[in-house]
Amino acid sequence: MPSLMNRDELRSALENAIQGKSANKSPFSLAWAEGSLSREHLARWAENHYHYVGPFADYLAYLYARTPDHMTEAKDFLLANMYEEEIGGDRHTDLLIRFAEACGTTRERVTDPDNMSPTTRALQSWCYAVAMREDPVVAVAGLVVGLESQVPSIYRKQTPTLREKYGFSDEEVEFFDLHIVSDEIHGERGYQ
């Protein structure tokens, strides 16, 4: 039986697993950063992204409930993350809807699960499955390190384009500015 990795070995293994697979290298992310997408493309992205990030606090809640009581730092981190997603200032989903409306879609279209693509439905299902079934360490590695920690590098490339090329206001892109900062903190805490 192989031995367990220490903290530094686990972090290195997780960083290596993500390297080369980051979503910021996807054709869609690159097109966004170049400013070659239409507002309609961005609206469809927001309609789908809502159904991935909307239940993020739910994923964390399942994980929180399954985390052993002696892992108090981990539980505190999960609870703080849920708080920030749901009630710490503006709800993150409300900020995303504000951006979506600025792209030309409606709150109703964004929140309607029938507008979710099959790929987004699969991602949402995977997130729920990981949160409900995997060991809490594995779930944090997948949800927080694997997904949430990638967000700052993606949004750092996309947000300037939203302002400069598309002409969005600071208020309309607040969702992105917030996640550049908060998800960097969450991602780092996920490694811990």
CATH number at residue 40: 1.20.910.10
129-154 residue pLDDT tens: 999 999 988 888 888 776 776 777 77
Q: Say if 4 falls within a structural domain.
A: no
The boundaries of the domain holding residue 30 are 23-191
123 falls within a domain: yes
pLDDT for 65-100, tens place per residue? 999 999 898 898 888 888 877 776 678 889 899 999
DSSP for 81-127 reads HHHHHHTSSS-HHHHHHHHHHHHT--HHHHH-GGGS-HHHHHHHHHH
Q: Domains in the chain: how many in total?
A: 1
Q: Residue 12 domain-assigned?
A: no
Task: State the Cα–Cα distance between residues 158 and 31, nearest whole angstrom.
Answer: 9
